[in-house]
Amino acid sequence: MRTMTYAEGIREGMRKKMMDDPNVLLFGEDVGKFGGCFGVSAGMFDEFGDRRVRDTPISEGAIIGAAVGSAACGLRPIAELMFMDFVTVGMDQIVNQAAKLRYMTGGKITLPMVIRLPEGGGVSAAAQHSQSLEAWLAHVPGLKVVYPSNAQDAYGLMVSAIEDDNPVIFIENKTLYAVKSEVDDELKAVPLGKACIKKEGTDVTIITYGKQVMDAIKAAEDLAGDGINAEVVDLRSLYPLDKETIFKSVEKTHKVVVVSEEVKRGAFSGEIASLIAEECFYECDAPIKRVGALNTPVPFSMSLETYMLPNHKDIEAAVKSLF
């Protein structure tokens, strides 16, 4: 075993596929010589050159449009938008082009493209640079959506995302970039649509992804002191969704808390809760609880932002309310 940061996991996944396949390329704002806004692509410009690691104009519509066009013509582009919030500017290209072309051409055109989207609060980036909008994208047929919580999954999901012949939304949490975690000496691809049990438990299931996996594990450790043995499920993929792992855990624990950093109203956590209610209702011994951010724009003030975003204490409170 060795350690690697989350950002390094993403970068190594991209490097692996760029070394394997000359048709893989990376482009976005400042991803070249500068190495990306958060340093994720550092060194890749020097390694692969300006034809395969390219800076773009400040136009998210153009970035996604270039990804759609190049993917349709046989390349495997990785397009980075500097912040998830800016996906709003490229939404037409994502929703009406990338997500639809394979279907509308009867499979004659494939779209092997990855869109990297750094998201989330916790860095005082204020309301227009801190949102968690994964529910918007998971809602669209034709898109796959993944969200790693650690370096090993960041590497493995990136490799699988690049290899996939469909558009894959690759969401990254900004506060995780510098976080180190253990990885295998030999890194491997992580299949899309396969969740991971991060901690076994018998009393309650905590379902989450991204940064909230760390919060859930911390909550589970604290809950153990109160005699509650929590199981933590890291979804890793929002679509395809590993319903089998979710349902098996619910059938074991009979209590569920679903956690995400999104504002709670309209969050993807509601989709998970509804699936459990529809397909595992009689396995639940208590109401399905959800934990999310308050329904407000993300504040610039660090103290207000901390208050607004969910944390391990919120998860603990939700779990205890079930007993």
Q: Give tens-digit pLDDT for 145-202.
A: 999 999 999 999 999 999 999 999 999 999 999 999 999 999 999 999 999 999 999 9
- Per-residue pLDDT of 198-222, as tens digits, reads 999 999 999 999 999 999 999 999 9
| pLDDT for 238 | 98
Residues of each domain in the chain carrying CATH 3.40.50.970: 2-183
CA separation, residue 209 to residues 79, 133, 172 (Å): 22, 14, 11
Average pLDDT rounded to a whole number, residues 25-37: 96
Q: Quote the pTM value.
A: 0.97
How many C-beta atoms lie closer than 10 Å to residue 19's C-beta?
A: 11
| Residue 236 CB contacts under 8 Å (≥ 6 apart), including other chains | 146, 147, 148, 149, 153, 157, 190, 194, 195, 196, 209, 242
| pLDDT for 61 | 96
Q: What is the CATH number of domain 2-183?
A: 3.40.50.970
pLDDT band at 74 (very low <50, low <70, confident <90, very high): very high
| pLDDT for 103 | 97
**CA atoms of 29 and 10, how far apart (whole Å):** 17
| pLDDT for 306 | 97
Residue 129 annotated to the active site: yes
| pLDDT for 212 | 98
| pLDDT for 254 | 98
- Please state whether 29 falls in left (phi above 0), alpha (psi between -120 and 50) or beta: beta
pLDDT band at 282 (very low <50, low <70, confident <90, very high): very high
Residues of each domain in the chain carrying CATH 3.40.50.920: 196-320
pLDDT band at 49 (very low <50, low <70, confident <90, very high): very high
Strand pairing report for 289-293 and 256-263 = parallel
Query: Minimal CA–CA distance to 98: which of 68, 61, 55?
Result: 68
| pLDDT for 199 | 98
Q: Which of 129, 139, 254, 312 is catalytic?
A: 129
**CA atoms of 175 and 149, how far apart (whole Å):** 11
Average pLDDT rounded to a whole number, residues 19-43: 97
| Residue 287 CB contacts under 8 Å (≥ 6 apart), including other chains | 322
The class level of CATH for 196-320 reads: alpha beta
Contact between 215 and 194 under an 8 Å Cβ cutoff? The reply is no
pLDDT band at 226 (very low <50, low <70, confident <90, very high): very high
| pLDDT for 145 | 98
**Residue pointed to by tokens 């060194």:** 43
**Residue pointed to by tokens 């969704």:** 241
| pLDDT for 232 | 98
| pLDDT for 205 | 98
Residue type, 281: F
Which two three-digit tokens encode residue 189?
């691809």
| pLDDT for 262 | 98
**CA atoms of 181 and 159, how far apart (whole Å):** 18
The mean pLDDT of the chain is: 97
- Bridge partners (DSSP) of residue 182 are 3
